[in-house]
Homo-oligomer: A and B are copies of this chain.
Amino acid sequence: MPGADRPARGARGPYANGERRRAEIVDAAMAVFAEQGYERTSLRDIAERAGTSHASLIHHFGSKAVLLRQVLQRRAELDRPVRAEAVRTAGLLDAAVEMMHRNARVPGLIQLDATLTVEALDPAHPAHEFFRQVYDDFAAEVLPELERERDAGRIRTDLPLPLVARQFVALIQGVQIQWLYDPGVDMAEHVRVWLELLRPARG
């Protein structure tokens, strides 16, 4: 199946080598951004990791900012199927527990999110809109799930759910940062306990 829907040009489809090279560079950039953040990472750092020159990065992507956007897009693509499976089997809220457990085992992944999120607070940052949208979307996705849970009697009826949905985002964000300072922090357990707090009174 791979490449079957493309006209052959050379051994693989068109631009196959160029696309593979670009993918290698994006992977290298993702790794180095995760270790050092965006601002502190130079094109030379990424080029060294990818086994090429910083000039070739510019050739392929045009600028460091564009490369960052490719990294964010790639990360979202990698996440989507894993996340979809977790949501399918556990529901959106409990899936977060599973996702945090899993993400903690991928070196640099959470540091990438935390570092870029805060760097991108500046509205002029190339990833500012991306993160604003990600958080808004996530809160908007969580809200109806919270309403369903409330209507099913599984969470308290006296809570301002739009605020609670946003608090879910904030909690995940904050727990990640505390975990980065102290790996003894159990991120999944934090989310689990917080979800427990939402449950109705049991006497």
Q: Which residues of A contact B (CB under 8 A)?
A: 36-37, 39-40, 111, 114-115, 117-119, 121-122, 131-132, 135-136, 159-160, 163-164, 166-167, 169-175, 177-178, 180-182, 185-186, 189-190, 193-194, 197-198, 200-203
Q: Are B178 and A121 in contact (CB under 8 A)?
A: no
Q: CB-nearest residue of chain B relative to A35?
A: B122
Contacting pair A167 B181 (CB below 8 A)? no
Cα-based distance from A41 to B182 in the complex (angstroms): 27
Copies per assembly: 2
- A121 in contact with B181 given A39-B39, A190-B163 (CB within 8 Å): yes
Q: A111-B121, A201-B202 are in contact. List 10 more A-B contacts (CB 8 A).
A: A115-B121, A132-B182, A136-B182, A167-B193, A170-B171, A170-B174, A170-B175, A170-B185, A173-B174, A200-B201
A135-B178, A174-B170, A177-B170 known; A201+B203 contact, CB < 8 A: yes
Contact between A193 and B164 (Cβ–Cβ < 8 Å)?
yes
Q: Could you name 12 residue pairs across A and B whose Cβ atoms are closer than 8 Å?
A: A37-B119, A39-B40, A114-B118, A118-B118, A121-B177, A132-B182, A135-B178, A164-B193, A169-B178, A170-B185, A173-B173, A173-B178
In the complex, what residues of B have CB within 8 A of residue A39's CB?
39-40
Distance in Å from the Cβ of A154 to the closest Cβ of chain B? 15
